[in-house]
Amino acid sequence: MLRLLVRRAIEGVVVVAATSFVVFLAIYMLGNPIQVLASPDSPPEVIQRVTASLGLDRPWHEQYWRFVVNALHGDLGVSFVHAQPSLALIFGRLPATLELVVFAMIVAVVVGLPLGLVAGYWPRHWSSQAISSLSVLGISVPAFWVGLMLIIFFSLEWRLLPTGGRGATVQVAGIETSLFTLDGLRHLVLPGFTLATLPLAVIVRLVRTGVREQRRADYVRFGRAMGLSPGLLLGRYILRNVMVPVVTVMGLLFGTLVAFAVVTETVFAWPGSGKLIIDSIKQSDRPVVIAYLLFVVVMFMVINTVVDLLTALVDPRVRLQ
Amino acid sequence: MKQSLFARIREFADSRVALAAGILLLLACAAALLASVISPQNPYDLSQLDIGSGRLPPGSRSGDGILHILGTDDQGRDVLSAIFYGLRVSLVVGVVSTLVAAVFGGIVGLWAAYRGGRVDAVLMRIVDVQLSFPAVLIALMLVAFLGNGLDKVIIAIVLVQWAYYARTVRAAALVEREREYVEAARCLNYSAPRIMLGHILPNCLAPLSVIATVQMAGAIAIEATLSFLGVGLPITEPSLGLLIANGYQFMLSNKYWLSVYPGLCLIALIGAINIVGDRLREMSNPREEG
């Protein structure tokens, strides 16, 4: 257990260090930012002075070292566009993204689990085949397309829900959230379901495969012979055995969704971290892009490690490997 | 084991869905290749565009008598023609990035399998770490630093996808490496590259082609997503994703056809490639039941 944790920690540090190095090199080779920062017609001695004061005249390894030291102090530079520390900017937008992700996860589990159970238990039924085909579609269709379709039908055609933006928010435990206002929820539904498409499809497929395997197990055949209803068999016995991989994958999907929110937030003009990053890329706001990249890498490393640890805790067979 | 090409096509066509998908795919390729011949107008020749006949709904005729089956965009561009040209860009991105990624990833996978030991461990660790991040995210970050453009998007997709090929080819090559013919080739003192490329690689082509099909659909989807987000292809190389993005701004005023038809086309393309890929996998692994 401890060895796994130590190995993962070392690996995480290596990956983050490598990412930061590659990113730094990429930016270093893109050219001197002084041309962007200083007005082109300022006299050469001013440019020289600014270059020296920013440390841009130092050799690259010294610049990288300073970048690392600052990063370890939580300083990843100041956004060119917003004139705020880039990390603070990202954390400021994160609650909106997390709200979307949590909503999508809930939808995926609440809808996906029963569908997967049904499709796995009665694989020959036409509805199960339909569920399976739809889940393939859900994995391969780009997220932005799902969002567009939902907007066309629910907002433009039937005028039921808003086309985008975040609704009214209230402060709950110090965090602005739209989960507790009617207007907020109305704005949350379409982007939430758009983001839920991928995890929904993944969970359906996972549960379906799991149930199909379990269905052949002796305990299920015995239960059927005893005359237990399918609902009882599925809900009480099969579900438990299927849940381990589902929980694992849900953990991994969490990180994926935070990243995928980039697309959903762009479609629905949702003011989260994903929208921020797309805007930053378009405006060449490098400090924000770098901060986001490092943040995502660290997030994934932490999530993957936690998921591995949890899996090892829940399933003793994993620990032995 | 060896079947004639005709017999293989017959087997492929046993599944009606796969057959339909295959035909659809061929039609898409034909439309992309012949875009300049079959399009009612050249959508990027400004002299042929008439702003006066902009935003016509599907099925209407413009002033010069051209029938716009799928309508026109804000500059009077025929949507159907734009789709044919967009299909061309999307397919080029898909095919080129798939080929480059398959060659690059395939070589890495072969090398890892053949050398084994530390080389293998390090390479596969890199593959594992990369695959734990979502493909779209890596591509997005790469494009953020590379800048946009056709070549940059292809580079980004290759850097995202090589890992899948490396893993697949390595797995296949590990099995092949233990076969007698490799041992025989070693005894003949053939060089490592000759054994890897001439003897092991041909036997890894079946799994490689299956994953290449699926990855091509992925590549097209990634490009479309990047272009939709506005960080992929520039406006001068309008892929299907870019057409959808351009139409998106008019969608809220109910000019839905600008986004919907390129989008349907994209979905059909991705879906068809995936179905064909699925069928190829079934054929290469007959024991797996549907």
Q: What is the pLDDT at residue B63?
A: 66
Q: What is the pLDDT at residue B233?
A: 86
> Does residue A252 belong to any structural domain of this protein?
yes
Q: What is the pLDDT at residue B288?
A: 45
Are A171 and A225 in contact, with CB atoms under 8 Å apart?
no
Angle at B88 between CA B84 and CA B91, to 5 degrees: 130
Quote the CA–CA distance of A270 and A193 in Å, as a whole number. 14
Residues of A in contact with B263 (CB under 8 A): 145, 148
Q: What is the pLDDT of residues A248-286, one digit of tens each?
A: 888 888 888 988 889 999 989 888 898 999 888 888 777
Verify whether the Cβ–Cβ distance B136 to A262 is below 8 Å: yes
Angle at A70 between CA A65 and CA A76, to 5 degrees: 115
Quote the CA–CA distance of B237 and B88 in Å, as a whole number. 10
Q: Is B78 helix (H, G, I), strand (E, B) or coil?
A: strand
Verify whether the Cβ–Cβ distance A259 to B137 is below 8 Å: yes
Checking DSSP bridges between strand B67-68 and strand B60-61, what pairing results, if any?
antiparallel
Q: Find the mean pLDDT for residues A243-247.
A: 83
Angle between helix axes A143-150 and A182-214 (nearest 10 degrees) is: 130
**One-character DSSP codes across B90-110:** HHHHHHHHHHHHHHHHHHHHH
> Does residue A189 belong to any structural domain of this protein?
yes
> Does residue A31 belong to any structural domain of this protein?
no
Residues of B in contact with A256 (CB under 8 A): 134
Q: How far is B37 from chain A (nearest CA, A)?
A: 29
Quote the CA–CA distance of B284 and B290 in Å, as a whole number. 13
**Which has more confidence, A3 or B224?**
B224
Residues of B in contact with A278 (CB under 8 A): 229-231
Angle at A239 between CA A235 and CA A241, to 5 degrees: 145
Quote the CA–CA distance of A149 and B62 in Å, as a whole number. 28
Residues of A in contact with B225 (CB under 8 A): 142-144, 263
User: Which of A148, A252, A263 has the CB atom closest to B229's CB atom?
Assistant: A263
Are B176 and B203 in contact, with CB atoms under 8 Å apart?
yes
Residue type, A184: G
What token pair was written down for B284? Answer: 């290469």
Quote the CA–CA distance of B244 and B258 in Å, as a whole number. 7
Other beta carbons within 10 Å of B83: 25
Verify whether the Cβ–Cβ distance A278 to B274 is below 8 Å: no
Q: Is A38 on the interface with B (CB under 8 A)?
A: no
Q: What is the pLDDT at residue A319?
A: 57
Are A259 and A297 in contact, with CB atoms under 8 Å apart?
no
Q: Which domain holds residue A141?
A: 88-283
For residue A170, give the DSSP letter: E
**Phi first, then psi: what are they for B61, rounded to 5°?**
-100, 140
Share of chain A above pLDDT 70, in %: 91
> Does residue A314 belong to any structural domain of this protein?
no
The pTM (predicted TM-score) of the whole model is: 0.85
Q: Is B253 on the interface with A (CB under 8 A)?
A: no
- Taking CB atoms within 8 Å and a gap of at least 24, the contacts of A7-13 are A8/A301, A8/A304, A8/A305, A8/A308, A9/A305, A11/A301, A11/B125, A11/B129, A12/A298, A12/A301, A12/A302, A12/A305
**C-alpha torsion A244→A250→A252→A257, nearest 10:** 170
**Local confidence band at A173 (pLDDT 50, 70, 90 cut-offs):** low
Listed by number, the residues of chain A in 281-320 with a beta carbon closer than 8 Å to a beta carbon of chain B are: 281-282, 289, 293, 296-297, 300, 304
**Domains of chain B by range and CATH?**
2-41+70-288 (1.10.3720.10)
Cα nearest neighbour of A209 on chain B: B290
Quote the CA–CA distance of B224 and B243 in Å, as a whole number. 9
* CA-atom Rg of chain B in angstroms: 22
In a structure prediction context, what are the per-residue pLDDT tens digits for chain B, which is 290 residues long?
Answer: 456 778 888 888 887 888 888 999 999 999 888 888 887 777 777 777 776 666 677 777 766 667 777 777 777 778 888 889 999 999 999 999 999 999 999 999 999 988 888 989 889 988 988 888 888 888 988 888 887 789 999 999 999 999 999 999 999 998 888 888 888 988 998 888 888 888 888 888 888 888 999 899 999 999 999 999 888 888 777 889 888 888 888 877 777 778 888 999 999 999 899 888 888 887 876 554 43
Find residue A80's DSSP bridge partners. none
Q: Please report, for the domain that includes residue A241, its CATH number.
A: 1.10.3720.10
Other beta carbons within 10 Å of A198: 21
> Does residue A101 belong to any structural domain of this protein?
yes
Are B239 and B86 in contact, with CB atoms under 8 Å apart?
yes
Q: What is the pLDDT at residue B156?
A: 92
Cα nearest neighbour of B125 on chain A: A11
Cα nearest neighbour of B214 on chain A: A140
Q: What is the pLDDT at residue B289?
A: 43
Quote the CA–CA distance of B143 and B227 in Å, as a whole number. 11
Are B78 and B72 in contact, with CB atoms under 8 Å apart?
yes
**Which has more confidence, A233 or A193?**
A193
Are A177 and A184 in contact, with CB atoms under 8 Å apart?
yes
Number of domains in chain A: 1
* CA-atom Rg of chain A in angstroms: 24
User: Which of A140, A148, A281 has the CB atom closest to B217's CB atom?
Assistant: A140
Are A67 and A24 in contact, with CB atoms under 8 Å apart?
yes
Q: What is the pLDDT at residue A311?
A: 76
Verify whether the Cβ–Cβ distance B140 to A281 is below 8 Å: yes
Q: What is the pLDDT at residue A186?
A: 86
Q: Is B15 on the interface with A (CB under 8 A)?
A: no
Q: Is B249 on the interface with A (CB under 8 A)?
A: no
Quote the CA–CA distance of B179 and B289 in Å, as a whole number. 28
Quote the CA–CA distance of B27 and B87 in Å, as a whole number. 11
Q: Is A52 on the interface with B (CB under 8 A)?
A: no
The mean pLDDT value of chain A amounts to: 83
Quote the CA–CA distance of A232 and A220 in Å, as a whole number. 11
User: Which of A15, A136, A281 has the CB atom closest to B144's CB atom?
Assistant: A281
Q: What is the pLDDT of residues A174-228, one digit of tens each?
A: 667 777 777 888 888 899 999 999 999 999 999 998 888 888 888 888 888 888 8
> Does residue A15 belong to any structural domain of this protein?
no
Checking DSSP bridges between strand B60-61 and strand A175-177, what pairing results, if any?
unpaired
Spell out the residues 6+ positions from residue B121 whose beta carbon is closer than 8 angstroms to its own. Answer: none
Other beta carbons within 10 Å of B285: 11
Q: How far is A262 from chain B (nearest CA, A)?
A: 9
